[in-house]
Amino acid sequence: MQYQNSLAFAKQLDQEDSLAFLRNEFHIPRDTKGKEWSYFTGNSLGLQPKTTQKYLQQELDDWANLGVEGHFEAKNPWLHYHEDLSVKMAKIVGAKPIEVTIANTLTVNLHLLMVSFYQPTKTKYKILIESDAFPSDRYAVESQLKFHGFDPAESLVEWKPRNGETLLRIEDLEQIIQNQGDEIALLLIGGLNYYTGQFLDLKKIATIGHSKNCFVGIDLAHGAGNIQPNLNDSNVDFAAWCTYKYLNSGPGSLGGIFIHEKHAYNKDLPRFAGWWNHNKKTRFNMREPFDVMEGAEGWQLSNPPILSMAAIKASLDIFDKIGMDLLREKSIRLTGFMEFLLHQIDSDKINIITPKNPLERGCQISIQVKNADKDLHKKLSQHHIITDWREPDVIRCTPVPMYNSFEEVYEMVSVFKELMNEE
């Protein structure tokens, strides 16, 4: 697409946008005087669908009117509530329904999955992560290594960008696995890096890891509902993600789990057990020995919080109606427009560290500003623009195709340009 640097062009793009109506499906934050904020932080917390309250009220009403019978008699029976969500979530991440479930929260799920897929021996015990992994992933991995008696200083392998670069190169991962693969038990990689917005080639990563018999897991916290990871085709062993960012399910909501179908029927994989990953046909017999369920449901533990699931359902129903193909197409146009406008700013202080290739990024543009500090982020907020600051000098902007417009992108970059000129 040939972009133009004008408000009229931005408005034209919005008029031609077949998904523009989706913005009205969400509550847009406003100040005390009713003025809308331009919200570019869906990478931290997605906005609330207007249907969420109705979905929650349905479960509150069924709880009030049915009590415990809601497990079977509710409009959406609680006993099977997660099953419909699994089908819709599977479409979003490119998986089969048996490979996906909704349970627990992200870091809890990573720990539970590492119980199964981190199986260290005396000679094959290391874990590989990207050097700038999200902190909670690093904490989780380090604690797993310590739990198994290994020193993270010696057992944690980092895939790093080259000197003077910010993006990861797949050939560097190949070299690490070639050199140390016989000692590495697990690769746990952020499929879309939270800082740079780089979308990694999951299928290539799986092939590289499996070449040395390493398990491969993916953290999709910043990827689910953003890019199309095609998890089944990628052949990664497992993945986990939260649902409160691009999936708009509310702060601290439940997470998602993916277990590749090649492991779906392997009941010998070590795992922790609870009554919700016990065979649902005999679950309520109470005195039956543990019989683990097949597929991703085999990593559930407790009966899920229905109110959280109701919020997830409200959002997933929107995704199911639109589909990831259309959302991804708009995402590429939004980031392309933002990138184009930023390049029109005559300043040697600005460096976009997100990949130039739109297929290698999600709906995120990370702007590195030389000698900047958080005051720049605060100044944007004074103009009713909510972005995300990351130390030491990066502003992350996420134009989300569900609710951000091309006009908002134009206005955001216009304000940013004014602030750069003031500097």
**Cα pseudo-dihedral 390, 396, 400, 404, rounded to 10:** 110
The pLDDT of residue 377: 86
What does the alpha-carbon distance between residue 244 and residue 46 come to, in Å, rounded to a whole number? 6
Domains of the chain (ranges, CATH numbers): 7-49+323-422 (3.90.1150.10), 76-320 (3.40.640.10)
DSSP assignment of 334-386, as one string?
A: HHHHHHHHHHTS--TTEEE-S-SSGGGB-S-EEEEETT--HHHHHHHHHTTEE
The pLDDT of residue 386: 95
The pLDDT of residue 372: 83
The pLDDT of residue 286: 77
CA atoms within 13 A on the CB side of 236: 30
Helix (H) or strand (E) holding 401: none
State the CB neighbour count (10 A cutoff) for residue 168: 21
The pLDDT of residue 288: 83
Q: pLDDT by residue for the chain (423 residues), tens digit each? A: 899 999 999 999 999 999 999 999 999 999 988 999 999 999 999 999 999 999 999 999 999 999 999 999 999 999 999 999 999 999 999 999 999 999 999 999 999 999 999 999 999 999 999 999 999 999 999 999 999 999 999 999 999 999 999 999 999 999 999 999 999 999 999 999 999 999 999 999 999 999 999 999 999 999 999 999 999 999 999 999 999 999 999 999 999 999 999 999 999 999 999 988 998 888 888 788 888 999 999 999 999 899 999 999 999 999 999 999 999 999 999 999 999 999 999 888 999 999 999 999 999 999 999 988 888 889 999 999 999 998 889 999 999 999 999 999 999 999 999 998 886
The pLDDT of residue 275: 87
* Contact predicate 122/155, CB 8 Å: no
**Cα pseudo-dihedral 380, 385, 388, 392, rounded to 10:** -10
- pTM for this one? 0.95
CA atoms within 13 A on the CB side of 118: 26
* Contact predicate 148/120, CB 8 Å: yes
What does the alpha-carbon distance between residue 199 and residue 192 come to, in Å, rounded to a whole number? 4
| Nearest one of 24, 26, 49 to 253, comparing CA atoms | 49
The pLDDT of residue 348: 87
